[in-house]
Amino acid sequence: MSEEYGELGVDKERLREVGIELDESKRSGTYLQEDQEAKTFASFFEGVEVMSIQEAMKKYEWVKDYFWKILRRDQDEYTREADTADVNGYFIRALPDAKVEIPVEACLYLKKAGKQRVHNIVIAEENSELNIISGCTSHPGVAGMHIGLSEFYVKKNAKLSFTMIHSWEPTVEVRPRTAIHIDEGGSFISNYILLNPVKLVQTYPTAYVEKDGTVVFNSIIVALEDSVVDSGARAVLRGENSSAEIVSRTISKGGKVIARGHIIGEAPEVKGHLECKGLMLSENGLIHAIPELEAKYPNVELSHEAAIGKIAEEEIFYLMSRGLSRDEATSAIVRGFMEIEIKGLPDALKEAIDRTLKMAEKDLL
């Protein structure tokens, strides 16, 4: 597998930065797309299918029923622009009752200047468990736009965790459009990590949660100088006893961050919590937190907390008194701030997240 990747002309170091291992012994499946072309895809576990969306449409007549089902073609100019004949993307499906603990990896790689148009479909069938790590990145020096549409379907009592790590160039715009449907008793965990410079990211996934279902959105975002990141998540709690948690950690080191969160309670006994914390490391940056709670039923439980601040000098002095240098103390505080307890992840995904965070520390000092 590693020799095969070497022939693809992609920057291996950029792939490793976003958690792509290029090692079938560590993955249940793999997918790599360069611009509009699916370069390679394979499944290494009998309980999961991995292929391009174009191949899936040929293989299964029913795939069209999942295409544009919870996203709208006319949602905005970017969804309309991605509705083209050459659109490609990944199709990942966990079969009923399959337990896919070792992650499937998927990489969307922008190599040439221009626009990459992607439409992904992910299905976790009934009683299945599926873990995915998606690394989106660009070739060094490239300028362009990534338009990524994704539709996730978590069937009854299924569990799906999706970790997305972005590493773009300062000349790239990114416009993800994502929707998730979580059936009765289903669970969806989303982890979004952006630590490198980017021109613009605009993302606001929406989850529709049925009875006894749950959704968790975690995000760790660093906006470096000249970067603009407009991010957040929305959860629509449709079914009784459904729940949602949206947790974000944002850092501005000269960039602009808009951190959004919206939970809508539409059924009895639903629970939701928003938590947004921001850390300012530059006088030139901006963090704007916009939490929203909306109740459409009497007995719902929705809450939020938001806080933005700077590193307290007393914290630095305390750590320096314990033998750390000022840079080491600052690094430890920032590292602790970015840590989010993510439940239900396999060790391989936790390791990929930890490795990515450690690589970003040097840029924050």
Run of H or E residues at 287: strand 286-295
For residues 338 and 221, what is the distance between their CA atoms, to the nearest angstrom?
A: 9
Q: Are strands 228-237 and 90-94 parallel, antiparallel or unpaired?
A: unpaired
Distance between CA atoms of residues 78 and 89, nearest Å? 15
Q: What is the pLDDT along the chain (365 residues), one digit of tens a residue?
A: 333 444 555 677 788 778 887 778 889 999 999 999 999 999 999 999 999 999 999 999 999 999 999 999 999 999 999 998 889 999 999 999 999 999 999 999 999 989 999 999 999 999 999 999 999 999 889 999 999 999 999 999 999 999 998 989 999 999 999 999 999 999 999 999 998 889 999 999 999 999 999 999 999 998 999 999 999 999 999 999 999 999 999 989 899 999 999 999 999 999 999 999 999 988 889 999 999 999 998 999 999 998 888 877 788 887 888 888 877 777 777 777 777 766 656 666 667 667 666 665 655 55
Q: What is the pLDDT of residue 13?
A: 76
**Beta-carbon contacts of residue 332 (< 8 Å; ≥ 6 apart):** 319, 324
* pLDDT at res. 89: 97
Going across the sheet that includes 301-309, the strands are 37-43, 29-34, 99-110, 129-138, 159-167, 187-194, 214-224, 243-253, 271-280, 301-309
Q: How high is the pLDDT of residue 2?
A: 35
Q: According to the model, what pLDDT value does residue 23 have?
A: 79
- How high is the pLDDT of residue 319? 81
Residue 190, class by beta-carbon neighbours within 10 Å (0-12 exposed, 13-18 middle, 19+ buried)?
buried
Separation CA 192–CA 332 (nearest Å): 21
Give the count of beta carbons closer than 10 Å to the beta carbon of residue 26: 15
Structure tokens at 93: 């499906």
What pLDDT score does 35 carry? Answer: 94
308 by DSSP, 3-state: which?
strand
DSSP state for residue 158 in the 8-state scheme: -
Q: DSSP labels for 213-264?
A: -EEEEEEEEEEETT-EEEEEEEEEE-STT-EEEEEEEEEEEBSEEEEEEEEE
- Predicted confidence at residue 360, as pLDDT, reads 58
pTM of the model: 0.91
Q: How far apart are CA 2 and CA 351, in angstroms?
A: 20
| C-alpha atoms less than 13 angstroms from C-alpha of 153 in its C-beta half-sphere | 21
Q: Distance (Å, rounded) from C-alpha 4 to C-alpha 105?
A: 16
User: Given this model, what pLDDT does residue 113 score?
Assistant: 82
